[in-house]
Amino acid sequence: MDLYPLKFNPIFCYRIWGGEKLKTVLNKDYKEKNIGESWEISDVTDYETTVSDGPLKGKTLKELIETYQTDLVGKKVFQKFGDKFPLLIKFIDAKTPLSIQVHPSNALAKKRHNSFGKNEMWYVMQANENSELIVGFDQKITPEDYNKHLENNTIVDVMHHEKVQKGDTFYIPTGRVHAIGAGVLLAEIQQTSNITYRIYDYDRVDSKTGEKRDLHNDLAIDAIDYQVYDNYKTAYQLYKNKSSKLVHSPYFKTNIIHLEGEIEKDYSNIDSFIIYMCVEGALILSCNQKEYLLQQGETLLLPSSLNSIKIKSENAKILEVNY
């Protein structure tokens, strides 16, 4: 069976801090309350997304990779990861702030959890007035200082707070403390990992369990990068009708395309799957004499074997992701 551009059924995740924007802004279809995350493309165990339409409907990523191998993910990805998909793609809606958290490095995650680390990036799709992200530290502290701040409930005071608006982009390498603030809707691209060390949670109680959530400070303390950096936000130039670089890391490469009109894309030299996340507007993707609609809040996986496509829109922005 020939491969085609693939959409998946999202997995909706309850979060203590989740709101309604995934439904009201991104038109996601669910009935539960406090849905904070829409897992768009996932190979995480017990959270595997399935193809939503076409002849491969119902297939998981793992099943697709086992069948199509390099035609789906590309030679270099298949040689490195086998039947594991290297990226996890989400939309996140924070009605209230996330916990302050950190992710372990590849080496630490492998040693402790037999998992990938969790390098990730954020692209802000919508933010309420005065909404902010917490990324890294604003002042140099030692692990000893860090413990004192935890004891005194002042850890938030030494972290870098940044007001955000639509289009702001941040790379969050492993070891960097971070949190999404209240009122922020964003796209997240990350390594396939579900390992998070929660270090501060505002002393709040989860209404579902009636209890406070676990903290992981014994694990976090030697996973944290205590350095202070001059800048935490990613600077980029946005050009019309071409791929503009956002974040290129060893774990994923993300560009943004501001599309007005029609362009052709040739991916024959990439040797990787391509993921499109529509973060604004809507577009039509043409491939092998068929057309596929991609609207804001939708995600599409373009198999490696589909090298030549056309995309057109009156006005859209899409994140273009590959390994």
pLDDT, position 169:
98
How, if at all, do strands 47-48 and 43-44 pair?
Answer: antiparallel
155 DSSP 8-state letter: G
Q: How confident is the model at residue 193 (pLDDT cuts 50, 70, 90)?
A: confident
CATH of domain 11-220: 2.60.120.10
| Closest residue by Cα to residue 159 from 215, 219, 232, 214 | 232
Q: What is the pLDDT of residue 208?
A: 85
For residue 1, pLDDT over 80 is answered with no
- What confidence tier does 106 reach under pLDDT thresholds 50, 70, 90? confident
Note the pLDDT tens digit of each residue in 304-320: 999 999 999 999 999 99
Residues in the chain, total: 323
CA distance 152 to 25: 38
Exposure string of 122-157, with b = 16+ CB inside 10 Å and e = fewer, is: bbbbbbeeebbbbbbbeeebeeeebeebbeeeebee
Q: Provide the CATH number for the domain formed by 243-322 in this structure.
A: 2.60.120.10
One fold for 11-220 and 243-322: yes
CA–CA separation, 146 vs 155, rounded Å?
7
**What are the sequence ranges of the domains in the chain?**
11-220, 243-322
186-203: b or e for each residue (b if 16 or more CB lie within 10 Å)?
Answer: bbbbbbbbbbebbbbbee
Please indicate whether residue 131 or residue 195 has the higher confidence score (pLDDT): 131
The per-residue pLDDT for 227 is 95
At residue 36, the pLDDT reads 97
The pLDDT tens digits of the residues spanning 23-63 come to 999 999 999 999 999 999 999 999 999 999 999 999 999 99
pLDDT score recorded for residue 207: 82
Question: What is the chain's alpha carbon radius of gyration, rounded to the nearest angstrom?
Answer: 20
CA distance 251 to 299: 19
Rounded Cα distance, 318 and 259, in Å = 8
Angle, alpha carbons 192-56-186 (nearest 5°): 40
Q: Which of 219, 187, 178 is nearest to 88 (CA)?
A: 187
Q: Specify the range with the lowest mean pLDDT, choosing from 58-62, 145-149, 164-168.
A: 145-149
Alpha helices in the chain (DSSP H): 21-24, 61-68, 70-73, 75-81, 106-113, 143-151, 217-220
Asked if 234 contacts 246 with a C-beta cutoff of 8 angstroms, the reply is: yes
- Give the per-residue SS3 of 209-237: CCEECCCCHHHHCCCCCCCECCCCECCCC
pTM (2 d.p.): 0.95
Work out the average pLDDT over 167-195.
96
- Cα→Cα distances 123→9, 16, 46, 240, 313, Å: 21, 22, 26, 18, 21
Q: What is the mean pLDDT of residues 227-246?
A: 96
Decide if pLDDT at 116 tops 90: no
* Rounded Cα gap, residues 282 and 292, in angstroms: 11
The CA-based diameter of the chain, rounded to the nearest angstrom, is: 63
